[in-house]
Every structure is written in C-alpha cells, then in structure tokens.
C-alpha cells in the first residue's frame, strides 16, 4: 500500500513541477495576491479630494479650512464661489465631497453653542462615502474642541482606542484572510483538476483496473497539495510579517491545527467537484464558482457579513472560509485561544464531513 | 469451474436501469489463447471487459478470471491482469521510463524488479531509444508500445487489450500483433477487443457480440468455412444483419 501511494505521489510531483500553470497557481499567485491585496486594495483612505464654498470669509471659517488643508486625509481641490461649480465638480468626480460654510458662521460661533456647516458627499461608492463622513466629522469635532470660545460649554469627547489593530491598517485585516483564499485555491481547485485530468485522459480507467484502491488514489493525490498549501500559508504569513509588519500574536501551533481543519474542508469540496466534473475545464469553472468566489465575497474577507441581506447571510453558513477567516484573524490579531474559536472549528469539521460524504456517495453511484 | 480455463463467464449479465448492456453471455478462454472480442460500438464489449476486470459488478450470472471470482475477489484479479485501454493511458508529461516506473510502482514492484523488467522490455519491444523522451512527444505507434510495456511489466497472467490498435499505422499494427503472439507463446492469455476485422483473423478464437449477446464464437478459419464467407468481415456483416432481421421479426 505504501509503495503504491509513493508511486502516485511521485508522479503527482512530476505533474506539478512540469506544468507551468500549476506552478503559477502555487507559487506566483500567492505573491501576486499578497501584493495586490496588500497595496492596491488599500482601504485606508487618504487625500480625499474636496471642495469648499466659504460664504462667510471670517477668521473662524479660515481656521476651519486651514485644519482640513493640514490634514493628510483631505486634499482641497477647489474654493468655489457658488453651488453650481461644486455640483458640477462632484458630478465629474473631481471632488468627492464639498463643505459649505454659511454666511454668519464666524458670528454664530462666538454666540451660539451650536453652529452648522454643510457637508455634501458623493454617495455612489458607499464605503468611500462613509469614510469621508467619518473623517470629516472627526476633524470638525477636533477643530471645535480646540477652538473653544466659551468655557461654559465642555463637549464630551470619546477617548477612543482601537484594539487589536490600533493603526486600523487594512493589510492587517486582509492579508491573514488571503491565507484562506490561497489554501482554498490550491486544495480545492488543483485537487479537482488533477483528478478530472485522469478521467479525461483515460488514465483513471487503468488505475481502477490496477491493484490501487480508490482511497489510495485519492490520498496520494491530495497529499502533495496539502503540503503545498501549508507551505503557501506559511509563506504568506512570513511575507505578512516582513513586508506589512502584521503582528502574528497568537499561538501558531493552534493556527496550524485549525488550518488543517480548513484544508480538510477544501479537499472535500475539491473531491465533490471532481466527482461531478468529467473534464478539467468543467472542474476549473466549478471550482472557481463554488470555492474561490465565495471565499472572497461571502466569507467576510472584504465585505462584512453582518451587513449582507438575510438570505445571503444564511448562505455564508456553508462557506468554510467564513469560519477560517474568524479563526486566523482571531489568532493572529487578537491572540485568541481555542475556546474563543471552537464554534468555528466545529463548523469546519461538520462542513468538511458533509461535503466528503456527498462526494463519496457520488463517486460510488458513478462507479456503478 | 476451473478446468484449465483462465477466463470463464456464465450467463454474465449487466443491466443499467431498463437497458441490458450485456445479456447472459457465456464463454471461456484457455491459458495462452489469443481471444478476440468483436462487435460494433455499443454491442457490450466494454461492459463485459469492465466486469471481467472488476470495475463493474454484474447484475446476473457469474464468472472467474485467473481462478478468482469476479464478484468477490476483484482485488486478487487486479493483481494478476494487465490492462491497456484504447486511449493508451500514458502521462504525457512523464518520460517513457517514468511512466513505466509509475505503473510498476502501483503494481507494488520493487525498484530492482522494475529495472530488470525495463531492461527486458526495452530489448523485446525495441524501445531503448525513446525511454528518456516525454510520452507526449513520441509518435502514436511508440505510445502504443509504451502503453503495452506498462501493461505487461508486472508479468500478468492475463492481458486485457481494449481496442489497442486504434489510429495506429498498418506497420505498427503488424509489429504490435507480432508482440502479442510472442506473449501468447510465453503463456500469457490475451483478451483483445477490436473492430478491425483483419485483426480478428490473427486471433486463435473470436466471439462476435451484438446487442449484448454473443452471436457466434469459434476459430476464424472454421467460422469462415461454416458461413461460407471469404473474410471475417463478411461473416460479421452477415451475422449482424441476420440478427437484426430476427429481432425485427420477433418484434412484429
């Protein structure tokens, strides 16, 4: 039995090492994705282009504008005279927001407890728009507390502190999640392709007539990909530490153990796909739709699950990456213990077993 | 059941739902025989081979291969047979030698056994020059030979060949059959399906299958005499169209 498995693993390594496409998925893809997601998908928004209409022209209004100008979050593109210009520039996308300071703002500030200015935001990109509102609010609050005229009025201030990711760096959130996406890709996609390739070329037929047991074929076929996906995962974490300075706080042994549960899930899905697909093309498409896309879109990798509509939120329950995201982010950023992520761990075991059972049943019925 | 025959089938039947792919076939093949299994596409040849090699369980009847029951002892059968499919089933990104090493490995051969088997096969099949080339880059005739080498290197008692000469040029086909004769002389039983009727003439005995049933079985020369035809092709056409007429009459 050991001899037979060894022979298949050896052959599988030849396939991997001689196929540029497989090599690209295993080695080039993680590098590319880490760089793309780490740098290009930068959710730390800076230099927001804004415009101002200052109807007041007072010392107070100038002080406020000065603060916006000094902030690295905003980049003042335009001082307009009237609303039409601003409207036009918002429409063209030259500016993403506009602040309108009404006449009498400076006078008001001296007498009234509350003064108002208007903020117009381009809401076509809601995430961006929200960020703009938050930054503008924070800046105005800071400004008004610093330029306090009357001592009678002491505003309540949050002394806020962000836990786990104090600088709110997007990369800290995204890169650990990438481990899930890459592992899913290597395990589910490549395993299903390698099995359907044997069916397509007719070599599976010869394997089935040989003394090799089906379970040995499958074991030998998945082992190389399991090892490679663990190497990929470790590689991404080293990269994360060195390039993005992501802390890696928790217990890495615990992370490895729970990663194996995730790999188990990914492999089960890969086998399920290959039990249905007869050609490599079909397997690739199915793996893309059934594993990669959900792992990116429905896992909380980028888009928060709690803000999805209820039916979609329910659908995320069968996306293994959802649970693994919580595990890997929890362990790396919050140093979570097993107790904290045990629900997710159990979910992975259950999901993996369900997928594996369906795959086994499908293989059996097809073999007859 | 075992009386010198290495393959036996008794009323072997396989149904898929309502469709009967193989309908109660009975035949036997003796040791060292070259047995040709003829029939049009869809006649039930492949289904029969799959039952004999233990990939498919029969729904009726019984059979044995190399003395082992095809229903209960499939694993023992697999260790004693070699199988070559019509697609030649080589890994194109592996060299000829790596393909041989792989198939040797899955039959549990030690590397010592393999290297002596390889040495013998390279000489016998005259393929020493291509052993380091990728299987995907060699001509079809050589692929066929490599595929055969993979199927016989573990010294099987019975060799199953499923349309082994498809798409190969006449010269290579001839050379291939010479090797088949050699193997048969050394005591290996060869069970071969084909739809090249001229190849059927090379077989010791043939059976013609039609619509799941074996409609005739015997030595090619004897069959030609019996039906008073010049070639096996004529015998085949005569029998198959006759069988069709009979089915139509019974249906009416």
| pLDDT tens, position by position, A259-284 | 999 999 999 999 899 888 888 899 98
Strands B81-84 and B158-162: parallel
Which chain A residue shows the shortest CA-CA distance from B15? A368
Q: What is the ipTM of this complex?
A: 0.87
Instruction: Name the average pLDDT for chain A.
Output: 86
Region for A291 from its dihedrals, namely left if φ exceeds 0, alpha if ψ lies in -120 to 50, beta otherwise: alpha
User: CA of B104 to nearest chain A CA: how many angstroms apart?
Assistant: 8
- Is the pLDDT at A349 greater than 80? The verdict is yes
Number of structural domains (chain B) is 1
Query: Among the CATH numbers 3.40.1710.10, 3.90.1150.10, 3.40.50.620, 2.40.30.130, which is that of A48-146?
Result: 3.40.1710.10
Asked if B79 lies within 8 A of A211 by C-beta distance, the reply is yes
Q: Are B26 and B10 in contact (CB under 8 A)?
A: yes
pLDDT at B49: 92
Highest mean pLDDT among A37-41, B112-116, B163-167, B172-176: B112-116
- Is the Cα dihedral A264, A267, A272, A275 positive or negative? negative
Instruction: Name the average pLDDT for chain B.
Output: 90
Question: Any chain A CB within 8 A of the CB of B137?
Answer: no
DSSP state at residue A198: H
Question: Any chain A CB within 8 A of the CB of B96?
Answer: no
CATH of the domain at B19: 3.40.50.300
Distance (Å, whole) CA A65 – CA A134: 17
Question: Any chain A CB within 8 A of the CB of B124?
Answer: no
Closest residue to B106, CB basis, from A8, A14, A19: A8
More confident residue, A154 or A252: A252
- What's the mean pLDDT in B13-35? 93
Which chain A residue shows the shortest CA-CA distance from B106? A4
pLDDT at A43: 58
Q: Where in chain A is the domain with CATH 3.40.1710.10?
A: 48-146
Question: Any chain A CB within 8 A of the CB of B187?
Answer: no
- Is the pLDDT at B207 greater than 50? The verdict is yes
Closest residue to B105, CB basis, from A3, A14, A368: A3
Which residues, 6+ apart, have CB-to-CB distance to A219 below 8 Å?
A5
Smallest CA-to-CA distance from A236 within A179, A165, A186 is with A179
Between CA A223 and CA A230, with CA A225 as vertex, the angle to 5 degrees is: 100
Using a CB-CB cut-off of 8 Å, the residues of chain A touching B65 are none
| pLDDT tens, position by position, A284-329 | 899 889 888 999 999 988 888 888 899 999 999 999 999 999 999 9
Task: Determine the structural domain holding residue B163 and report its residue range.
Answer: 5-251
Distance (Å, whole) CA A287 – CA A291: 5
- Is the pLDDT at B73 greater than 80? The verdict is yes
B102 CB-contact burial (10 Å; exposed 0-12 / middle 13-18 / buried 19+): buried
Which chain A residue shows the shortest CA-CA distance from B152? A210
pLDDT-derived band at A105 (thresholds 50, 70, 90) equals confident
């Amino acid at each position: 039995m050991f001899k037979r498995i060894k022979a298949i693993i050896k052959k599988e390594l030849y396939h991997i090492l001689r196929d540029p496409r497989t090599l690209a998925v295993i080695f080039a893809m993680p590098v590319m994705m880490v760089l793309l997601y780490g740098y290009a998908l930068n959710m730390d928004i800076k230099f927001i282009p804004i415009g101002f209409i200052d109807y007041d022209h007072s010392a107070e209004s100038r002080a406020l504008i000065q603060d916006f100008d000094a902030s690295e979050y905003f980049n003042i593109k335009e001082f307009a005279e009237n609303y039409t210009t601003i409207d036009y520039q918002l429409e063209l996308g030259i500016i993403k927001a506009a602040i309108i300071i009404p006449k009498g703002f400076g006078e008001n500030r001296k007498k009234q407890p509350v003064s108002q200015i208007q903020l117009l935001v381009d809401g076509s990109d809601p995430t961006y728009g929200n960020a703009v509102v938050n930054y503008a609010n924070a800046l105005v609050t800071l400004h008004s507390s610093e330029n306090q005229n009357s001592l009678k009025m002491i505003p309540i201030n949050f002394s806020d502190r962000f836990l786990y990711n104090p600088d709110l760096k997007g990369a800290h959130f995204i890169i650990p999640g990438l481990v899930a996406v890459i592992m899913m890709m290597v395990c589910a996609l490549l395993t299903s392709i390698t099995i359907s390739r044997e069916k397509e070329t007719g070599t599976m037929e010869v394997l089935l007539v040989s003394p090799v047991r089906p379970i040995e074929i499958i074991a030998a076929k998945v082992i190389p990909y399991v090892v490679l996906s663990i190497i990929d995962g470790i590689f991404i974490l080293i990269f994360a530490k060195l390039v993005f300075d992501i802390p890696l706080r928790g217990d890495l042994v615990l992370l490895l153990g729970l990663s194996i549960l995730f790999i188990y899930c990914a492999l089960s899905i890969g086998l399920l796909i290959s039990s249905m697909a007869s050609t490599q093309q079909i397997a690739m498409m199915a793996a893309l739709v059934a594993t990669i896309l959900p792992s990116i879109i429905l896992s909380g990798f980028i888009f928060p699950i709690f803000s999805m509509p209820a039916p979609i939120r329910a659908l995320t329950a069968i996306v293994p990456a959802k649970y693994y995201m919580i595990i890997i982010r929890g362990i790396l950023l919050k140093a979570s213990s097993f107790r904290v992520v045990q629900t997710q761990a159990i979910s992975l075991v259950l999901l993996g077993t369900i997928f594996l059972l369906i795959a086994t049943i499908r293989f059996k019925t097809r073999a007859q | 059941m075992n009386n010198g025959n290495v393959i036996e089938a008794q009323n072997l039947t396989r149904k898929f739902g309502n469709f009967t792919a193989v309908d109660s076939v009975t035949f036997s093949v003796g040791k060292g025989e070259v047995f040709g299994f003829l029939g049009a596409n869809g006649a039930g040849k492949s289904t029969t081979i799959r039952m004999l090699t233990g990939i498919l369980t029969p729904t009726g009847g019984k059979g044995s291969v190399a003395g082992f029951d095809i229903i209960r002892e499939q694993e023992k059968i697999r260790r004693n047979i070699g199988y070559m499919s019509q697609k030649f089933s080589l890994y194109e990104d592996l060299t000829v030698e790596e393909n041989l090493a792989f198939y040797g490995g899955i039959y549990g051969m030690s590397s010592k056994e393999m290297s002596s088997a390889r040495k013998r096969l390279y000489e016998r099949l005259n393929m020493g020059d291509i052993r380091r080339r990728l299987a995907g880059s060699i001509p079809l005739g050589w692929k066929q030979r490599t595929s055969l080498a993979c199927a016989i290197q573990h010294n099987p008692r019975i060799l199953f060949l499923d349309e082994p000469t498809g798409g190969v040029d006449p010269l290579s086909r001839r050379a291939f059959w010479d090797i088949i004769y050699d193997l048969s002389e050394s005591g290996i039983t060869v069970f071969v399906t084909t739809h090249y009727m001229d190849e059927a003439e090379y077989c010791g005995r043939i059976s013609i299958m039609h619509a799941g049933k074996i409609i005739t079985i015997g030595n090619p020369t004897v069959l030609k005499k019996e039906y008073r035809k010049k070639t096996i092709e004529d015998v085949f056409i005569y029998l198959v169209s006759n069988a069709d007429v009979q089915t139509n009459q019974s249906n009416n």
